[in-house]
């Protein structure tokens, strides 16, 4: 099962984590919109392969994170909590994503952007550039035995770097896939629901300036979508949108409503992954991961929030 302890074949890498405040100017602040801050980390490693984290899974107990990297690797780490707050990440492990022949993915095939765990424990990953969905068996801890899924119809028309960025498993076991930049009609981004050879189209109504980069499903079946934006005046921005389960139907134009928005001086970067789990007290916990694009002026941030609507 993914998010278990790293297998013996995994390569350990140096990993440092430093705690970050929600608002560096007001360290006591713990609330933004419908979210209560439960701790955040900046992750760093001296291993040059580390960076570009664009997809995220969190184990049900919160003890491990699994992420995919933009340059053809997977990453796992152990998460540590004190008094229900996220305080550290340790035991980093890294490995290559492999193709069907057991070889590392080539340059134009390695841009992984999203992850979703299916009810049987298997995992589906979405890739850009060469748009595709790949399924890994539940016991495939090292993403070594990929099986291609039939792609949603029309996915091939997506811009090279704006394919399926948000992917989640719905309450009924079907996948929900949302593109970042394929607009079949003005202001609506293409999406699909279904699975292998059984896809139905729908759309996500764009929020001004924002594009979806990750999704996960809440315990009640609603979906949380993380979206990013950038302006030269305000810098990077992110927001979380909640889409009600009843809205998610074939042919729908999904809208939902905003849960929270992260804008400076709040801690924010290029958030591209979101994961949800139930906490020890029955609360809903939402994690965000940022993609540093392998740039020294960006950061890999892992934040945890409690939903307090």
**Each residue's pLDDT tens digit, 150-184:** 999 999 999 999 999 999 999 999 999 999 999 99
Under the banding of pLDDT at 50, 70 and 90, the label for residue 42 is: very high
For 11-307, which CATH class? mainly beta
Give the number of other Cβ atoms within 10 Å of residue 9's Cβ: 10
Which pTM was predicted?
0.95
What's the rounded mean pLDDT across residues 48-69? 96
Closest by Cα among 163, 112, 172, 135 to 2: 135
User: For 196-244, what is each residue's pLDDT tens digit?
Assistant: 889 999 999 999 899 999 999 999 999 999 999 998 888 899 999 999 9
Identify how many contiguous H helices and E strands the chain contains and give both numbers: 0, 24
């Amino acid at each position: 099962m993914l998010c278990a302890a790293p297998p013996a074949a995994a390569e350990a890498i140096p990993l440092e984590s430093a705690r970050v405040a929600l608002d560096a100017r007001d360290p006591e602040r713990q609330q933004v919109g419908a979210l209560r801050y439960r701790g955040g980390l900046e992750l760093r490693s001296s291993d040059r392969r580390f960076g570009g984290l664009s997809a995220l899974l969190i184990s049900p107990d919160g003890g491990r994170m699994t992420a995919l990297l933009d340059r053809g690797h997977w990453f796992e780490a152990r998460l540590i909590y004190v008094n229900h707050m996220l305080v550290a990440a340790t035991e980093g492990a890294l490995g290559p994503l492999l193709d069907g022949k057991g070889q590392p993915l080539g340059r134009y095939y390695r841009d992984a952007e999203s992850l979703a765990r299916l009810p049987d424990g298997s995992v589906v990953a979405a890739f850009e550039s060469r748009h595709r969905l790949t399924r890994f068996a539940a016991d495939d801890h090292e993403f070594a035995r990929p099986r291609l899924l039939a792609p949603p119809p029309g996915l091939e028309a997506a811009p090279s770097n704006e394919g399926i960025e948000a992917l989640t498993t719905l309450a009924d076991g079907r996948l929900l896939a949302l593109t970042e930049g394929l607009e079949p009609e003005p202001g609506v981004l293409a999406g699909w629901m279904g699975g292998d050879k059984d896809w139905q189209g729908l759309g996500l109504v764009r929020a001004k300036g924002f594009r979806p980069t990750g999704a996960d499903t809440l315990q009640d079946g609603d979906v949380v979508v993380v979206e990013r934006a950038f302006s030269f005046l305000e810098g990077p921005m992110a927001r979380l949108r909640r889409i009600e389960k009843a809205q998610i139907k074939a042919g729908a134009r999904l809208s939902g409503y905003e849960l929270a928005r992260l804008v400076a001086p709040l801690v924010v970067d290029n958030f591209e992954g979101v994961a949800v789990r139930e906490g020890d007290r029955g609360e809903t916990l939402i994690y965000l991961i940022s993609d540093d694009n392998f740039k020294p002026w960006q950061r890999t941030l892992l934040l945890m929030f409690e939903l307090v609507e």
